[in-house]
Amino acid sequence: MQSFRRDPADEGRREAIAIVLRSSLLCSCTPGPPPRRINPTRRRLREPRYHLCSNGGVDHCPCPPYRRRTRFPARIHVPRPPAARRVRAAIAGAVSSLLVFGLAGTPAATAGGTGDLWNWGANMYGQLGDGSFTAHRSPRSVPSLPELATVEGGREHALALTSSGNLYAWGWNAYGQVGSGASASAVATPTIVLTRVVNIGAGHYSSFAVTDDGSVWSWGRNDTGQLGDGTTTNRRLPVRVGGLAGHTIVDVAGGRNHAMALADDGTVYTWGSNRYGQLGDGTFHARHTADRVVGLTDAVGVFAGRDHSLAVAGDGGVWGWGHNKYGQLADGTLKNRATPRRATRLVHGSVVALTNIVDVDAGAYHSLARTGGGRLWSWGSNVDGQLGNGTMRNRSRAVRVKSLAGVVDIAGGRQSSIAVTSDGIVHTWGENEFGQLGDGTASDTGRTTPGAVPGIDQAVRVGMGRDYAMAIAMPSSP
């Protein structure tokens, strides 16, 4: 297992940049032209377009609605992605935190904004957040949420993070995964759970949040210790994940029965079920608090499938471990792995590592990866065409998704996939039994290549649950 070396100058650089940015946590940006020169080493940014940043000049900037998963600016160039992530974490740690549980259970106030939520697909547990339990085969807006920065789909519940750091949840609540403390089995309208949140993750029946002090909070089902609080007791209100003392966490992800966290120094931590090796510690033993993944020291993002785990490294490579029955680790085998293995693809019959990756997401048994140039790769199960390569054949190495370029955000559902391109158009493919492809139809036969979702343009972010999809976007122009 390869280890990645860290630049010793990162610590000093992080402090210097934190001092500069500490007094400007939010900024107001307007659309603008692209810069003439772009630093090619800034891999981890997920902006859909260039714009003018009020924090200084014309450049990339993850300000709302141009960013995902963080409310802190990373405006100053740093030599590589892990440093950028550490800068944001340093800034977060410098801000005093206040977790407001008193707001739990309060319905979201109606507010306008440029980041409106659109949902479609299955809705038997209120996972579309529109106050009903009626499925929709075409996108419907959810007007009760303020300006959104990102969304995450659990199995049948959803999370949304506003640009001001408020976390909302709705949908199935049998295990308390909505986090409001309510005993109702389903919550059909968005409810505020936490404030001062900078990152979110949704598991099958559990939810996770990173707050601006670098701590991780969890709630929902806990039968295998996936909440990381040292117990196996389900929680209807957030509890703090154990085993992370002394670490500043910047990213989090949830699978079916396990969870992952990324620290600002590039190390990865996992907890919960380990039946398939998805904790990446070299064993198959479950853990009820967080512990470190073997060998990863320079990760810039973490992502969880049903029972497999993925991480993007600072060199643009993808590492995977855990369940691999359908090839969802892209290592060319169908063998479960208890330690990270590098994802690969074929070039003229030769096996090469997957490189230049800036974003990854995982469905139940398949995985997606986006390159810095906006190309999209996929691998794993393909029973409903969720790999988007025109076939229904499983793949144990990465293959190109057809007919997509300029991809800026991706998400995976159970057996379907979603992406948004730089022109703001949302594309879907794979399973469509509940209308989760959003094209107005429902079918037992999956779609093997991407198709545009009508009724939405100017999209910036997408998310997907088991059988439903979400997009943060403006309504289509008349």
Which letter does DSSP use for residue 108 in this model? P
Location of structure tokens 């040292």: 230
Angstrom CA distances, 424 to 49, 141, 170, 286, 370, stand at 9, 16, 26, 42, 16
Residue 437 CA to residue 441 CA, distance in Å, equals 8
CA nearest 423: which of 84, 49, 11? 49
pLDDT at 115 (0 to 100): 80
pLDDT at 474 (0 to 100): 72
pLDDT at 476 (0 to 100): 54
The CATH 2.130.10.30 domain(s) of the chain lie at: 101-475
What is the torsion angle, in degrees rounded to the nearest 10, for the CA atoms of residue 326, residue 390, residue 468 and residue 324? 10
Sign of CA dihedral 207, 67, 265, 249: negative
pLDDT at 147 (0 to 100): 87
Location of structure tokens 């079916």: 256
pLDDT at 475 (0 to 100): 55
CA nearest 167: which of 211, 128, 124, 131? 211
Segments in 31-161 forming alpha helices (H): 81-94
Residue 134 CA to residue 141 CA, distance in Å, equals 14
Class for the domain spanning 101-475: mainly beta
* Other Cβ atoms within 10 Å of 268 Cβ, number: 26
Residue 447 pairs in a beta bridge with 430
For the chain, the helix, strand and coil percentages under 3-state DSSP, each to the nearest 5:
5, 40, 55
Sign of CA dihedral 141, 219, 313, 280: negative
Mind listing the pLDDT tens digit of every residue in the chain (478 residues)? 333 333 444 444 344 333 333 333 333 343 333 333 333 333 333 333 333 333 333 333 444 333 333 333 332 222 333 333 433 333 333 332 333 333 344 344 333 234 899 999 999 999 999 999 999 999 999 988 878 999 999 999 999 999 999 999 999 999 999 999 999 999 999 999 999 999 999 999 999 999 999 999 999 999 999 999 999 999 999 999 999 999 999 999 999 999 999 999 999 999 999 999 999 999 999 999 999 999 999 999 999 999 999 999 999 999 999 999 999 999 999 999 999 999 999 999 999 999 999 999 999 999 999 999 999 999 999 999 999 999 999 999 999 999 999 999 999 999 999 999 999 999 999 999 999 999 999 999 999 999 999 999 899 999 999 999 999 997 555 4
pLDDT at 234 (0 to 100): 98
Helices 10-21/81-94 angle, 10° precision: 50
What's the distance, CA 323 to chain centroid? 19
pLDDT at 457 (0 to 100): 85
For 73, list phi and psi in degrees, rounded to 5. Answer: -70, 150
Residue 201 CA to residue 195 CA, distance in Å, equals 15
